[in-house]
Structure 1
Amino acid sequence: MSEREHEEREFDLKWAQQAQHKEPSARARMLAARWKHNPPGPVPFRADPEHTSRVRRRSSWVSTAVVLGTVALVIILLGYLNFQPY
């Protein structure tokens, strides 16, 4: 890109960013039209911390046990089959 083209491009970007009115995106227009007739209900900022902490703690232990159990099973199976690579 020549220096002249770079200056023209830089001028175009500055001009576009200084625009008084910026048109909303297609998604923003679609949601505005949908919500005009059927507004969304209130949504809490965060979920109940007690419920999420119990579920996460339980699921993380279960997934950890499954992974470690699978690894142990593979090690035992390979030892049982007297696995020798190549």
Structure 2
Amino acid sequence: MSQQDDDWEREFDHRWAESAEHKEPSARARMLAARWKENPPDPAPFRADPDPVPRRASWASTAVVVGCVVAVMALIALVQFSSSS
């Protein structure tokens, strides 16, 4: 094995890197830890909606669906009536 192959293998030895006893946190983790030490974040539920949308006009969507179903049924009846004549 040549010196270049040995360096390449050593440089990308993931098993050796994963077996390290101490892993340094990422830059973002260090930044957030420093920021939260001085000003901790407010508690929030897991994946909370930022601004819950008020429920309104649910009858409108129901009316649209029912109207589409009635229109399709009328179209089918019209096609069957015109083909039976």
TM-score by length of 1: 0.44
More helix by share: 1
Which structure has the bigger radius of gyration? 2
For normalisation by structure 2, the TM-score amounts to 0.45
